[in-house]
C-alpha cells in the first residue's frame, strides 16, 4: 500500500508531503495505481519547482517508494493550487481503487 500523508499547519497551509510504499495492485511494471500516484506526485513537484517560487527539500528512495518533501515555508497561492490538484487526483485514485492500494491522510502540525 502507498501511504500518503499531507501535513498542514493550523492555517491549513501545506508544509510537508510524505509518500511511502508500493500499491501492490499488480506486478512491478504493470501496477497502474503505483504509476498513477507516482506520476501525480512527481509532476506536481516538477511543476512547483519550475513554475513557482516555492522552495523545498526532498528525499527519495525507489526501493521503499519514499518521496518525502519538506517545504521551506508554508506553500503560497500557486503552490497551493498545484497541491490542491494533487490531492484531487490522489483522492480519485483512492476512490477508484480503494484504500487497500493507496491511503491519503492529513495531519496538522
Gap between the terminal Cα atoms of the chain: 24
pLDDT digits (tens, 9 = 90+) for 93-109: 999 999 999 999 999 99
pLDDT at position 28, please?
86
Question: Which structural domain range is residue 76 located in?
Answer: 2-108
CA 49 vs CA 36, 37, 92, 103: distances in Å:
20, 18, 24, 25
Does the pTM exceed 0.85? yes
> How many domains, in total, are found in the chain?
1
pLDDT tens track for 2-12:
999 999 999 99
Q: What is the pLDDT of residues 41-50, one digit of tens each?
A: 999 999 999 9
DSSP H/E element including 51:
helix 32-51
Maximum pairwise Cα distance, the chain: 40
CATH of the domain at 45: 3.30.70.1490
Q: What does the block give as the cell for 73?
A: 515555508
Amino acid at each position: 500500500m502507498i501511504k500518503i500523508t499531507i501535513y498542514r499547519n493550523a492555517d491549513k497551509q501545506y508544509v510537508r508531503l510524505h509518500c511511502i510504499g508500493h500499491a501492490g495492485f499488480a506486478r512491478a511494471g504493470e501496477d497502474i495505481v503505483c504509476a498513477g500516484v507516482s506520476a501525480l506526485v512527481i509532476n506536481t513537484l516538477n511543476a512547483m519547482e519550475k513554475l513557482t517560487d516555492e522552495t523545498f527539500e526532498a528525499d527519495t528512495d525507489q526501493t521503499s517508494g519514499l518521496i518525502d518533501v519538506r517545504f521551506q515555508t508554508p506553500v503560497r497561492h500557486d503552490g497551493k493550487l498545484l497541491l490542491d490538484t494533487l490531492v484531487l487526483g490522489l483522492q480519485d485514485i483512492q476512490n477508484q481503487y480503494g484504500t487497500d492500494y493507496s491511503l491519503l491522510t492529513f495531519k496538522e502540525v
